[in-house]
Amino acid sequence: MRKPVIGITCNTVLAEGTMLPGMVRAFASTDYIHAVAKAGGVPLLLPPVADPAIARSQVIAIDGLIMSGGPDVDPLLYGEEPLEKLGVVNLCRDEYELLVVKAAAELKKPMLGICRGIQIINVAYGGTLYQDVSQITGCSIKHFQTTAQREALWHTVSIEPQSVLATILGQQAIRVNSYHHQAIKNLAPGFIVTAGSKDGVIEAIELQNEHFVLGVQWHPEMLAEKSPSMLALFEKLVKAAATQI
Ligand code: MN
């Protein structure tokens, strides 16, 4: 039997300074690729496309899905005007990823959202975001870490004891890395919050009574090489994806 194929959504960037100027490239960080392979899956990069039928065909071709990290989600997609602290947005990627999440929801493909991934999943299912964590009353923790090593742990997270996440991690309090300045505001229907930081920022969500859909606000792919509990998130996705074969 073949191994489960895990699609990883790509970002796009105008890559200057190469031999061919003006080229737009689709890419994903190799940390996602390595984490999926280490967890027993087959990593497959999914480049953004505009055609909904092609996006849907991409989702049909995979067994599980990682919505990867990246730039801010365009606030117009959840009914807000852009505020001063909004960062870079990539509307082509936003529109593509909304197609992908909706196709994955319909086809019941297991899905893991990471950082921007938890946010776009929440928006695709009908939720909203804070454009910057400074909008959150009581938000006192620095959520964009400033460490010399990207794999360094930063703030603590409390996990709901009865959650799927607690089962995966085997712990109810962990330290995570943190590279985000946006966060979930209104939770999408059907989801529950299963982890939060001490200042009340939502750090993980799960879809209830459905196939496996879980989002985390931190970056487990950067930690999976050395941390068995962070690798376990990818192993859970691969295991859920195996049921699709
Ligand atoms: Mn955080």
Number of domains the chain is built from = 1
- How confident is the model over 137-178, as pLDDT tens digits? 999 999 999 999 888 999 999 999 999 999 999 999 999 999
CA 142 – CA 181 distance, rounded (Å): 9
- Cα of 1 vs centre of ligand 1, distance in Å, is 39
- How confident is the model over 65-118, as pLDDT tens digits? 999 999 999 999 999 999 999 999 999 999 999 999 999 999 999 999 999 999
Mean pLDDT for the stretch of residues 113-131: 98
Confidence check: pLDDT of 33 > 90: yes
The active-site residue out of 10, 97, 115, 203 is: 115
Q: 159 near 172, Cβ under 8 Å?
A: yes
- Cα of 229 vs centre of ligand 1, distance in Å, is 18
pLDDT of residue 50: 97
CA 224 – CA 132 distance, rounded (Å): 27
pLDDT of residue 20: 81
| Domain interval for residue 58 | 5-242
Instruction: Extract the tokens encoding 36.
Output: 């999926």
Band (186; pLDDT cuts 50, 70, 90) = very high
- Cα of 146 vs centre of ligand 1, distance in Å, is 12
- Cα of 240 vs centre of ligand 1, distance in Å, is 26
Mean pLDDT for the stretch of residues 25-47: 97
Q: Using a pLDDT cut of 70, give the percent of the chain over it.
A: 100
Confidence check: pLDDT of 1 > 90: no
Known active-site residue 139: no
CA 108 – CA 98 distance, rounded (Å): 15
**At 136, which CATH number?**
3.40.50.880
Q: 92 near 34, Cβ under 8 Å?
A: no
On the CB side of 67, CA atoms within 13 Å amount to: 35
Known active-site residue 155: no
Known active-site residue 221: yes
pLDDT of residue 21: 81
